[in-house]
Amino acid sequence: MMLHKNLIAGEWIAGDASANINPSNTAEVVGEYARASAQDTRNAIAAAKAALPAWSRAPLLERHGILKRTGDEILARKAELGALLAREEGKTLVEAIGEVTRAAQIFDFFAGEVLRLSGELLPSVRPGVGVEITREPVGVVGIITPWNFPIAIPAWKIAPALAHGNTVVLKPADLVPGCAWALVDILHRAGAPAGVVNLVMGRGSVVGQTLLDSPDVDALTFTGSTGTGKRVALASVEHNRKFQLEMGGKNPFVVLDDADIDVAVEAAANSSFFSTGQRCTASSRLIVTEGIHDRFVAALMRRLEGLVVDDAMKGGTHIGPVVDAGQLQQDLDYIEIGRREGATLAFGGERIERDTHGFYLQPALFTEANNEMRISREEIFGPVAAVIRVKDYDEALGVANDTNFGLSSGIATTSLKYATHFKRNSEAGMVMVNLPTAGVDFHVPFGGRKRSSYGPREQGRYAAEFYTSVKTAYTFA
């Protein structure tokens, strides 16, 4: 089987092999991927630093062309790359192809941004003096990405970094290196100069820690757990580097008495259980007013009964497996915690068997939960949701905001009054009305508040806030 190597300074470098296992069928090895050493990582950082002066001043059409060719190839290969994603992460094939398409759209957007880079020319308060405000690359960018979006998240970090003239060192999640390797291979063949894009796969304790410890990493963007995010922040403060954190969520979805029941159920099912609930924007708290509560729960359970849990590559599968044995055990542990806390397990929550051995879990729905339970406070990151009964909108809003997280929130209502009030008063970075909490566009800001996020927003034009440094120049003529 081919060993997929790390890319350092434009060369493919071997390392200890690690097997990429299909969570739908643990007997299948998706591929063998090299793990980088600490020295490999230091070499990659040095290569990115050496490549920075030339790349940061490269002609705009060179940058534009590389990003455009990358996006075009991703889109042309969406079926192939979607299958790879489904096999290594467990996301259904339909969702996986959608994620690959989004990655292509991100590169296409930032290819355009290269040609739209701008500054400001202002008069000074002093006669005869002109002021120019420009944005320059921040430098060498370390990128640490999670396993739940193996190609979209690397894309939405790499594309703006390159568009703004930075060089990058990418460390993808050790669990899902395949899509990241394919993306870097495409960038390499699209013409990215040696050292501009470096790939170092491997363990966080080795590769990630080396990135954190390096004084030559000028900025670090991280998506992952809150605990690891704190380590990234502390290490970055030590080196006075820019850092950006996207971490956990405990996202509320409010259902009011006046909601369209079909819209509410579909949005809640999608938010809570699709992608196996393994999204930081997933809704795991369904906050339902008492007038619609029983009808909503009954309708949601009927919807869950119709969802097919099976191999991610099979047609008709709605929910694939949990990503690995460790995450499956965490989900099962939280289901048991919910039972012990007194919530009613109204549906599912059992490990199930399919034709192949995989990490299959029936979606779990708790009722009679309250907002003080651990299943309502802590991120589970699986197909587990709890229904919290409330009296009215005011109580619903209070419960929704009573969390340490603030990434995404949603509301199902036909009332313009309540929709408008919720959009203004929800303590989340992204708010959805009559939509799943987990669906976001690629050209607008992504990010949250509280313990969910830190630093400038990701995606769209707002990405420039992180990937550039502002310079003000004065000229006396």
Catalytic residues: 246, 280
Cβ burial 338-358 (10 Å sphere, 16+ → b, else e)? beebebebbbbbeeeeeeeeb
| Main-chain dihedrals φ then ψ at residue 292, nearest 5 degrees | -115, -5
- Please give the Cα distance from 160 to 462 (Å, whole number): 10
Mention every residue, 6+ apart, whose C-beta is less than 8 A from residue 42: 210, 214
- Please give the Cα distance from 369 to 373 (Å, whole number): 7
Listing DSSP states for 183-229 in one string gives HHHHHHHTTPPTTTEEE--S-IIIIIHHHHH-TT--EEEEES-HHHH
Residue in the structure block whose two tokens are 């434009």: 10
Mention every residue, 6+ apart, whose C-beta is less than 8 A from residue 254: 287, 288, 393, 396, 397, 400, 409, 410, 411, 412, 413, 422
- Please give the Cα distance from 266 to 306 (Å, whole number): 12
- Please give the Cα distance from 186 to 166 (Å, whole number): 18
- Please give the Cα distance from 174 to 88 (Å, whole number): 11
Bridging pattern class, strands 140-144 and 167-171: parallel
Residue in the structure block whose two tokens are 């849990």: 309
Listing DSSP states for 368-393 in one string gives EE-TTSHHHHS---SSEEEEEEESSH
Number of helices followed by number of strands (H, E) in the chain? 15, 23
How many CB atoms are located within 10 Å of the residue 12 CB?
14
In the three-class reduction of DSSP (H, G, I as helix; E, B as strand; rest coil), residue 379 is classed as coil
Q: How far is CA 7 from the centre of its chain?
A: 23
Amino acid code (one letter) for 318: H
